[in-house]
Structure 1
Amino acid sequence: MIHDDLYATGLEQRRRMFGPAGAEGQVEHTTDLNDKVQDFVTRVCFGDIWQRDGLSVADRSKITIAMLIAQGKSHEIRVHMRGALANGISPLELREIVVHSILYIGIPGAVEGLRALDEVLAENGISQDLDGESGRTATDTGA
């Protein structure tokens, strides 16, 4: 791998989002099999694209999660939900991204997103009591 400014910036972004395991833990275990992928992810994805003006890192997290849910990429959904929490995205915002996805990708994709969010919140000790919506009744809403 080329260790230049893009690499250093990308590694730092990975560290902020995914901790040492998602930064040094990934690149230090690079092999001839995966070196091109790790180089691309570190330098281009996180060192360049995630650093561009026009969208905040938080917005990029939201967009990435929505696209991963739409593609049904289970592992990456979980990875990026963890990163989104580190980027300041609230559990409520993550839930709303999943709920919104029902409209555009359907229930099965949204359910996979909810499974991922459930796991990520549990592993981080974050309550699923987000807004009290589940306890509301028709009387509460005026229906």
Structure 2
Amino acid sequence: MTQPDRTALGGSYNDALFERGLATRREVLGREYVDASLAKAAGDPLRMELQQLVTQHCWGDVWNRPGLDRRTRSFLNLAMITALNRPHELRLHVRGAINNGLTKEEINEVFLQAAIYCGVPAALDSQRVMLEVFAEMGI
């Protein structure tokens, strides 16, 4: 994929951190999803600015910090996204959790724990999304 033009955007951008984040983002969420997100944003400076921010700071910086491994970060993301009740993002991060080595049972445990601390409706929605993703992935 051709890299998006980020030169006209505001903000502080670091190409090395963006590239590092892009690699991590593709490894966790899948190349197809990430490249489609960037392609969709390529013609829109407002969308591209958010893609730049997320790729550079979230994926390039935070996801690559040495303090936690990717499995642990996936556990945390599943719980936090459940608490925020963001099913679209949860769908991506269930796939990412599988890519990071979590088992189906471990992912389900996150949602059982979240039921107690975040509420049953949030956990039920998360489990529904999880089962849909498992079916899509054939696992």
- Give the TM-score of the pair, scaled to structure 2: 0.86
Match of 2:88 in 1: 75
> Is this contact kept in 2: 1:78–1:117, CA < 8 A?
yes
Shift of 1:3: 6.3
**Is 1:50–2:53 an aligned residue pair?**
no
Q: State which of 1, 17, 20 in structure 1 corresponds to 2:31.
A: 20
Q: Sequence identity of aligned pairs in percent?
A: 36
**Is 1:89–2:102 an aligned residue pair?**
yes
Q: Runs of 4 or more off by more than 4 Å in structure 1?
A: none
> Is this contact kept in 2: 1:74–1:112, CA < 8 A?
yes
> Is this contact kept in 2: 1:14–1:22, CA < 8 A?
no
One-letter amino acid of the counterpart of residue 49, structure 1: V
**Is 1:122–2:130 an aligned residue pair?**
no
CA RMSD of aligned residues (A): 1.2
Shift of 1:33: 2.7
Matches of 2:114 and 2:45, distance apart in 1: 37
Shift of 1:22: 2.4
5+ residue gaps, structure 1, are: 127-143
1:94-120: per-residue Cα shift (whole Å, max 9, x none)?
A: 000001111101110110111111111
5+ residue gaps, structure 2, are: 1-5, 7-12
Shift of 1:56: 0.5
One-letter amino acid of the counterpart of residue 12, structure 1: A
Kindly name which structure, 1 or 2, has the bigger radius of gyration based on alpha carbons: 1
Matches of 1:110 and 1:19, distance apart in 2: 25
Matches of 1:22 and 1:6, distance apart in 2: 20
Alignment of 1:4-19 (within 5 A): 4-19=15-30
**Is 1:29–2:40 an aligned residue pair?**
yes
Matches of 2:130 and 2:99, distance apart in 1: 14
Q: State which of 88, 110, 121 in structure 2 corresponds to 1:108.
A: 121
